[in-house]
Amino acid sequence: MKTIVLFRHGKSDWNVHFENDHDRPINKRGINAAKKMGKYLAGIKEIPELLISSTAHRTRETIELAAQSGNWKSECIFEPRIYGGSPNVLIEIIKNIDEKFNYVCLIGHEPNFSSFISKSCNEKFHRFPTASMAKIVYNKDKWVNVMFGSGQLEWIKRPKEL
């Protein structure tokens, strides 16, 4: 079994002092939500083995806060293709994950993640607010065998639900 948790970045700051979208930090609400979600995964004993994050500032902040508050000891890499990456790009990233990992968290953006859930699990479009997580399980023994339509959406968790 291979498992992906999609984790959308925390609520970001729209302050005009930042030169571009890539550089926006998360705001106070985003900080609190990221910490809450990190503790949530730790509490249900589902800490990812590997974190693959967008290079955007807000995703970096989100994953650092979540990992710290949940005491995750996960390996972490930053993947520039997640920022703006279509579902096709995301599936390509997933197909190339090292086989030593079975439980992986991708940290990224909308509308990419909602679209990915729909395509991967043959599901309707799901609302996926900031700092939400979605767990998708693939009944596959290798990442390279993961394809659209082969995932099972186990849950979506939003910070407001915790």
Domain range for 48: 2-161
pTM of the full structure: 0.94
**Torsion angle of the four alpha carbons 20, 61, 53, 122, in this order, in degrees rounded to the nearest 10:** -90
Domain containing 41 — which CATH number?
3.40.50.1240
Number of separate domains in the chain? 1
Between residues 48 and 16, which one has the greater pLDDT?
48
Judged against a pLDDT cut of 60, whether residue 16 lies above it is answered with: no
* Residue pLDDT, tens place only, 61-94: 999 999 999 999 999 999 999 999 999 999 999 9
Give the mean model confidence (pLDDT) for residues 109-138.
Answer: 94
How high is the pLDDT of residue 19? 64
